[in-house]
Amino acid sequence: MSAKNKLSNAAQGARGKVKQVAGALTGNRKTEMKGRRQQVRADLKNAGQQVKGSGRKVKDSMDH
């Protein structure tokens, strides 16, 4: 996974956490859920990048 993708996903997750906490503190359930969704989206992107990287490693090991 590239450093750019890691940073982007981490930033998205952090923004989501801020929204989630802000929503919880203000009692705004919609904002809280938007923040949680944003965190999950970042986690899924990370997982996809890890699978992609693992696939490349397997392919490279089979080529040798």
Provide mean pLDDT across the span 13-34.
97
Q: Which residue has the higher pLDDT, 51 or 2?
A: 51
At residue 3 the predicted structure's pLDDT band, cuts being 50, 70 and 90, is confident
Long-range contacts of 31-38 (CB under 8 A, 24+ apart): 38/12, 38/13
Q: Is the pLDDT of residue 15 over 90?
A: yes
- Spatial distance between the Cα atoms of 60 and 64, rounded to a whole number of angstroms: 7
29-54 pLDDT, tens digit each: 999 999 999 999 999 999 998 898 88
